[in-house]
Amino acid sequence: MIYRRNTKLAQKALLALFLGLLAFTACSSPVSLQTPTPTLTRTATPVLDTPTPSASPTSTPSPTQALTPTLTPTPTETQPPSPTPTYAILRGEVLMRSNCRYGPGAAYLYKYGLVAGSVLEVIGRNDPGTWILIRAIGGTNPCWLNASLMSVRGDVMSVAPVDPGIIMPWSPYYGPVTGVTAARAGDEVTIRWYGIVLRAGDDSEQIPYLVEAWVCQDGQIVFTPVGSYRTTVTLTDEPGCAEPSRGRVYAAEKHGYTPWMAIPWPAHETPTPSTAD
């Protein structure tokens, strides 16, 4: 009994000692409650890119240029285009057996013959309409016919005027005549030239020389073809035309005409005014 009692006392004593030591330790080593010091985090201060105003360059005033006045074009009256003449192709009937030639006149070389009753096309004319250029209907071999030898269906002057030499044949073997001269006596002009010598067999057996002249008659230039067996021709050429007269000479052989030679056409003499005494 005594032993158990002592044992309990000893346990109490030990417990008391333990608690005392525990209390002493707590008093001598106080636990300080430290408030954690906040860590200052350095925040980068945003830099605003505020543009630094730069000095604007001061423009140097340039000299003022005077304005050149603009000229307004004056409207001009527009002329209407000249109407293009429209020509006809007619038909006609040959009245009698006729000679058709290489040019608008009896002085030109013969091309072929026509029989009465033939119906042909009229495709051209000389200026006065006294000679007409004809062909077979749709044909390609035209010739010149005296207009009085055909009954034309329509107005001959509605047909196109054409150059008199449009179908003339040309000699490949002979050159132009030479020595062409012209002399005037009042209104008469005499033309002369040297003849050509043909080789045997080249004679056309027709009129060997042809003069084409544009002479003044009654104030107008008139085309006048003249054939000659000699080397001289005399023509009448009056004063009073706006344009000068002119002419040219050909020789003919069986292959055709030589190149023409221009006539040095003499002008009319201007009367010298008389002076009073």
Q: What is the pLDDT of residues 217-272, one digit of tens each?
A: 999 999 999 999 999 999 999 999 999 999 999 999 999 999 999 999 999 987 66
The whole-angstrom separation of Cα 264 and Cα 152 is 39
Question: 189 and 141: one domain?
Answer: no
Does residue 97 belong to any structural domain of this protein?
yes
- How many other CB atoms sit within 10 Å of the CB of residue 71? 6
Q: Which domain holds residue 125?
A: 90-158
In a domain, 139, yes or no: yes
Residue type, 233: V
Same domain, 193 and 251: yes
Residue 56 lies in a domain: no
**Residue type, position 65, single letter:** Q
CATH number at residue 191: 2.60.40.10
Q: Tell whether 153 and 213 lie within a shared domain.
A: no
Backbone angles phi, psi at 191, to 5 degrees: -110, 135
Residue 150, domain member (yes or no): yes
- Range 152-156, long-range pairs (CB < 8 A, 24+ positions): 152/90, 152/91, 152/92, 152/122, 153/90, 153/91, 153/92, 154/88, 154/90, 154/91, 154/122, 155/88, 155/90, 156/90, 156/122, 156/125, 156/129, 156/132
Q: Residue 122 in contact with residue 90, Cβ under 8 Å?
A: yes
Number of domains in the chain: 2
CA dihedral 23, 25, 29, 35 (to 10 degrees): -50
The answer to the question of residue 130 being in a domain is yes
Helix, strand, coil percentages for the chain (3-state, nearest 5): 10, 30, 60
- Grouping H, G, I as helix, E, B as strand and the rest as coil, residue 9 is helix
- Tokens 């630094």 locate to 52
Q: Which of 101, 127, 158 corresponds to the end of one domain?
A: 158
Q: What angle do CA 137, 142, 145 make, to 5 degrees?
A: 100
Single residue among 105, 124, 158 that ends a domain in this structure: 158
Q: Does 269 reside within a domain? A: no
Chain mean position to CA 79: 20
Q: Is residue 193 part of a domain?
A: yes
Tell me if 209 sits within 8 A of 249, measured CB to CB: yes
| CATH code (residue 143) | 2.30.30.40
Q: How long, in residues, is the chain?
A: 277
Report the amino acid identity of residue 34. Answer: Q
List the pLDDT tens digit at each of the 277 positions of the chain: 444 555 566 566 666 666 655 555 544 444 343 444 444 444 444 443 444 444 444 444 554 555 555 666 666 666 777 677 899 999 999 999 999 999 999 999 999 999 999 999 999 999 999 999 999 999 999 999 999 999 999 999 999 999 999 999 999 999 999 999 999 999 999 999 999 999 999 999 999 999 999 999 999 999 999 999 999 999 999 999 999 999 999 999 999 999 999 999 999 987 666 665 5
* Strands 110-114, 256-257: pairing kind: unpaired
**Is the same domain home to 153 and 208?**
no
Q: Is 3 left (phi over 0), alpha (psi -120 to 50) or beta?
A: alpha
Rounded CA separation 159/87 (Å): 5
